[in-house]
Amino acid sequence: MKTEIIKIDRERFEESELAKAAEYLKDGKLVAFPTETVYGLGANAFDTTAAARIYAAKGRPSDNPLIVHIADVNALGELAGEVPETAYRLAEALWPGPLTMILKKSEKVPKTTTGGLDTVAVRMPSDEIASALIRMSGVYVAAPSANLSGRPSTTKAEHVIEDLNGKIDMIVDGGATEIGLESTIVDLTGEVPLILRPGYITAEMLAEVLGEVRFDEALLTHSPSEPIVARAPGMKYRHYAPKAPLYIIEGKSEDVVRYINAAAVKNAAEGKITGILATEETSHLYKGGMVFCVGEREDGNTIASALFDTLRGFDETGANVIYSESLADNPLGTAIMNRLLKAAGYHIIHVNSKEEVI
């Protein structure tokens, strides 16, 4: 299949430039498009054949449900069997934006889209290209992140081309996405709202609107071997992974730098290339290896927008092993570390001043 690519200048685009992409969505075709979080791989959410094609293109397990994207709050009534008052409050305060709500689904939403569940995930993106495209298509748009299953989510059209060229009908290239991490997911089907995936919308922001909100227990354990089942099916898979194994090195900054430098020397002696995911504060301290800087330690916005691009970048360096500093010390630390831990398969090495390199 030939994948058409349409470039849109988000500073000054005419809606007519999106007409073909909108037509494609209405016709059951697959169109990747930018949102404020990451690129989505869209298809008509009510067309089971189109939704099934999303799973095939991504190589995604069919029990991992898709988020349904809307351009108008009124869609909630059609997609959800019951719309709790909390959903309207959240919509009023935080939509359009990087927030996904889980609600009981209506009869109309096919189970192919919800991965067999009786609930549906709904999000109204704020990105102007996404919003115009959804509205013009006249359909609700099921869209997972536009990456191959298991790979880091895509924050640039180049990443989408890398993963999905030849497998989908069209890519709308609107440049780099603003936030760089996927939406916060909050489940409103239980008594207390539960955060299933942390994101740019923090627990504090949700609590301000909802009063009480909790994290899904599966997010609080640092080990995938714990017998707690993630309520967002997608959270149980190894994810965001670069090709080489990734280790998070925790400890005092000077100990972390010393450990990684020693490991790079040892790896080089064994003929292995070391990738290092560093911050502005430390990147000049590394003596060997391929050093990528994701931003200042306290600047969560910059780190979030650079993270997936950086993880993908290591693949091109031929790195055999990657070490990352902890990136928790900023307001988006919970969301960033959630992705980094998954990318690392939860491998953390705690170092102190006496640590030997393993």
* Long-range contacts, 226-233 (Cβ 8 Å, 24+): 230/196, 231/187, 231/194, 231/196, 232/102, 232/185, 232/187, 232/196, 232/197, 233/61, 233/63, 233/64, 233/65, 233/115, 233/117
Q: How far is the CB of 145 from Mg ion (least distance, A)?
A: 3
- Interface with ligand TXA, residue 295, by CB under 6 A: no
Burial letters 288-324, b for 16+ CB under 10 A, else e: ebbbbbbbebebbebbbbbbbbbbbbbbebebebbbb
Taking the least distance from each CB to ligand TXA, the nearer of 141 and 248 is: 141
Helix axes 203-210, 85-94, angle to 10 degrees: 130
- Interface with ligand TXA, residue 114, by CB under 6 A: yes
- Interface with ligand TXA, residue 30, by CB under 6 A: no
Q: Which residues contact 262 (CB under 8 A, 6 or more apart)?
A: 357
Rounded Cα distance between 21 and 40, Å, is 13
What is the number of the residue whose Cβ is closest to Mg ion?
145
Strands 290-293 and 321-325: unpaired
Q: How far is the CB of 184 from ligand TXA (least distance, A)?
A: 8
- Interface with ligand TXA, residue 224, by CB under 6 A: no
- Interface with ligand TXA, residue 137, by CB under 6 A: no
Among 182, 216, 309, 325, binds ligand TXA (CB under 6 A): 182
Listing DSSP states for 314-327 in one string gives: HHHHT-SEEEEE--
- Interface with ligand TXA, residue 102, by CB under 6 A: yes
Q: Return the H-helix or E-strand segment holding 349.
A: strand 348-350
Q: Is the dihedral of CA 92, 96, 99, 101 positive or negative?
A: positive
Strands 99-104 and 67-69: unpaired
- Interface with Mg ion, residue 279, by CB under 5 A: no
**Which range touches Mg ion (CB under 5 A), out of 105-113, 144-152, 249-257, 299-307?**
144-152
Among 145, 310, 330, 334, binds Mg ion (CB under 5 A): 145
Among 44, 112, 119, 202, binds ligand TXA (CB under 6 A): 119
Q: Which residues contact 212 (CB under 8 A, 6 or more apart)?
A: 192, 193
338 binds, among ligand TXA, Mg ion, none (CB under 5 to 8 A by kind): none
Q: How far is the CB of 259 from ligand TXA (least distance, A)?
A: 33
Q: How far is the CB of 105 from ligand TXA (least distance, A)?
A: 7
Rounded Cα distance between 146 and 155, Å, is 9
Q: How far is the CB of 153 from Mg ion (least distance, A)?
A: 5
Is the distance from CB of 197 to CB of 177 less than 8 angstroms? no
Among 31, 71, 232, 293, binds ligand TXA (CB under 6 A): 232
Is the distance from CB of 307 to CB of 180 less than 8 angstroms? yes
**Which range touches Mg ion (CB under 5 A), out of 61-69, 71-79, 125-133, 145-153?**
145-153
114 binds, among ligand TXA, Mg ion, none (CB under 5 to 8 A by kind): ligand TXA
The site string for ligand TXA over 49-88 (x = CB under 6 A, - otherwise) reads ---------------xxxx---------------------
If you search the block for the tokens 């354990």, which residue do you land on?
A: 221
Q: Please measure the distance between the N-terminal and C-terminal CA atoms of the chain and give it in whole angstroms.
A: 47
**Which range touches ligand TXA (CB under 6 A), out of 17-25, 98-106, 221-229, 332-340?**
98-106
Among 96, 97, 144, 300, binds ligand TXA (CB under 6 A): 144
Per CB under 5 A, residues contacting Mg ion are 145
Per CB under 6 A, residues contacting ligand TXA are 35, 37-38, 40, 64-67, 98, 100, 102, 114, 117, 119-121, 123, 143-145, 182-183, 185, 196, 231-235
